[in-house]
């Protein structure tokens, strides 16, 4: 198994800068994503901003031959939704926008849920509980903790709220490459798995389903949906393990770390 790369102070500084730039992409999109906009328009706007304004590289474009700069996963789409010119966002929808950005050789990865127009209380609850579940996982991060502690924190919370954790996809180490070791499961047993140490950087990105956890991939080979057609939500941040806890490298201006 490939070893887990410990980031140097210089690498971490560059990755922190990439995370700050990526956070600014979401800030730009906040006013743009609304009923009537197409998912392809979101992709086009984000690419122009990343390349022209931020002088950065959208790291997803070309990865595994993927032709776009982001994923837009609407309603029952769990992940890897493909932007389409024919897909207009309608009031009541929920959509996850997942973006990566490389600057000075280091990559950051984050995703955010958007509530489009008048969203039902049940959809809003799923989105909010998924967000809380992500933070439960993040707050388990510190030197000496384990990857199992992260998964357990997420799983125990969201299952107690009546939801299920998608098990086929996970967080991942990230740095010079988009996908590095370790794999970060969003379920698990406390105390099990790799022990965390300062300098590790990885994503925490739970995909939480309103119904059961079963999923399937559509014929396009990318789009993953819930089998029962119920809603799915996801949030993601890039996290660094520090000497005394964690740092969220992709924290957005409107966010505060929960107590």
Residues annotated in the binding site, as ranges? 80, 98, 109, 172, 179, 205, 236
- Known binding-site residue numbers for a divalent metal cation: 98, 109, 172, 205, 236
Instruction: Collect contacts of 248-256 with beta carbons under 8 A, ≥24 apart.
Output: 248/19, 248/138, 249/15, 249/16, 249/18, 249/19, 249/20, 249/108, 249/201, 250/19, 250/22, 250/23, 250/108, 250/109, 250/110, 251/19, 251/23, 252/23, 252/26, 252/27, 252/112, 253/23, 253/27, 254/27
Contacts of 215 (CB under 8 A, 6+ apart): 78, 166, 168, 209, 224, 225, 226, 227
CB 115 within 8 A of CB 94: yes
Write out the binding residues for substrate.
Answer: 80, 179
What residues have CB less than 8 Å from 56, skipping those under 6 apart? 18, 21, 50, 101, 102, 103
The C-alpha atoms of residue 14 and residue 106 are separated, in whole angstroms, by 6
């Amino acid at each position: 198994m490939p070893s887990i790369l410990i980031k140097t102070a210089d690498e971490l500084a560059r990755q922190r800068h990439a995370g700050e730039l990526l956070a600014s992409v979401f800030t730009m999109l906040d006013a743009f994503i609304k009923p009537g906009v197409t998912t392809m328009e979101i992709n086009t706007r984000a690419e122009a901003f990343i390349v022209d304004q931020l002088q950065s590289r959208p790291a997803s474009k070309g990865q595994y031959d993927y032709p776009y700069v982001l994923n837009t996963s609407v309603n029952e789409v769990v992940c890897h939704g493909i932007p389409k010119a024919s897909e207009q966002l309608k009031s009541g929808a929920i959509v996850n926008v997942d973006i990566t950005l490389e600057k000075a050789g280091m990559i950051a990865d984050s995703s955010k849920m958007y509530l489009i127009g008048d969203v039902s209380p049940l959809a809003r609850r799923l989105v909010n509980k998924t967000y809380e579940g992500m933070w439960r996982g993040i707050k388990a991060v510190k030197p000496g903790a384990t990857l199992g502690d992260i998964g357990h924190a997420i799983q125990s919370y969201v299952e107690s709220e009546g939801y299920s954790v998608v098990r086929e996809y996970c967080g991942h180490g990230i740095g010079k490459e988009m996908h590095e070791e370790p794999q970060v499961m969003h379920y698990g047993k406390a105390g099990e798995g790799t022990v965390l140490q300062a300098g590790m950087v990885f994503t925490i990105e739970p995909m939480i389903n309103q119904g059961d956890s079963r999923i399937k991939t559509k014929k396009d080979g990318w789009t993953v949906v819930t089998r029962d057609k119920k809603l799915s939500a996801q949030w993601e941040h890039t996290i660094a393990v520090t000497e005394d806890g964690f740092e969220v490298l992709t924290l957005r201006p409107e966010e505060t770390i929960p107590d």
